[in-house]
Amino acid sequence: MDWLQALILGIVEGVTEFLPVSSTGHLILTQRAMGIGENEANTAFAIIVQFGAILAVVGLFWKRVRSVFAGLVGRDPAGFRLGLNLVLAFVPAGVVGILFGRLIKESLFNLWVVSAAWLAGGVVILWLSRRRAGIGPGVGARLEDLTARGALLIGVVQVAAMWPGVSRSLATILGGLAVGLSLTAAVEFSFLLGVVTLCAATAKEAFSSGSMMLANLGSVPVAIGMIAAALSAVLSVRWMVGYLTRRSLAGFGWYRLILAAVTLALLATGVLQAT
């Protein structure tokens, strides 16, 4: 992988990580389109480069993050409750990742599987958009009203995002809406939960495959990818927050369906390789 490929992958990661379109699926598609095959180093890069997107959200939602840290030392009860909810929401995916993470990477990281998930997610988004027609993004419970049970249920739904192509963002937003949060609150919780989940995934991958990745790819491409991910994630998150104040999630549903159809056609004709 050269520096230009790393730059492109970093931008793709940053733009898609917090949108309900699956950053993992987009990274796999981009890697195959650039002729980058599936191996441990490239898979590790796709996960570790997420750290740049994490930094972007921490910066954009620093007030919430600071509140959580203050809660941990007993200075902010609301921050403590939010921190506890984030931990509870992380636990299901964390357990599944520990038990089945390697099996998931070996079995599901291919474009046939990703395309099927894009299709399924697109249908769900369009169905949800019809059901929520006329409901404003601020209608529903606030983030401060989220219960521990609700947070745990969001975490259970997040497990579905272990299937590449589903989208962690989509799963957690749907989970938030299912437990009664407003769309605005569900999106914010999804962003914050992403910080916790991605930190854990990045740390696990760095510990298990980081040295091998650096030996095969070099430190410069990895650094370029992270910086590109951070800068593009800032723009993407700001855009999404503004977009959802004016429009529904339906546009993401149509995007997923079109992308899946194009990808499946390219796979069927042999233009793209699945792995």
Q: Is residue 273 part of a domain?
A: no
Query: What is the model's pLDDT at position 116?
Result: 95
Domain count, the chain: 1
Domain membership flag for residue 274: no
Check pLDDT > 90 for residue 201: no
- Mean of the per-residue pLDDT values for the chain? 92
pLDDT at 142 over 80: yes
Write the CB contacts of 104 (distance below 8 Å, at least 6 apart in sequence): 97, 162, 163, 164
**120-139 average pLDDT score:** 92
- Look at residue 108 and tell me if it is in a domain: yes
pLDDT of residue 148: 96
Q: Is residue 125 part of a domain?
A: yes
**pLDDT tens, position by position, 25-76:** 999 899 989 988 778 888 888 889 999 999 999 999 999 999 999 998 889 9
Q: What is the pLDDT of residue 253?
A: 96
Residue 101: its pLDDT value, please? Answer: 79
**pLDDT tops 80 at residue 106:** no
Mean pLDDT of 121-125: 96
> What would the pLDDT profile of 153-193 be if each residue is shown by its tens digit?
999 999 999 999 999 999 999 999 999 999 999 999 999 99
**pLDDT given at position 237:** 93
Residue 27's domain spans which residues? 3-268
Whether the predicted pLDDT of 21 surpasses 90: yes
Question: pLDDT for 214-253, tens place per residue?
Answer: 999 999 999 999 999 999 999 999 999 899 888 889 999 9
pLDDT digits (tens, 9 = 90+) for 6-16: 999 999 999 99
Are 154 and 193 spatial neighbours (Cβ–Cβ below 8 Å)?
yes
Q: Does residue 275 lie in a domain region?
A: no
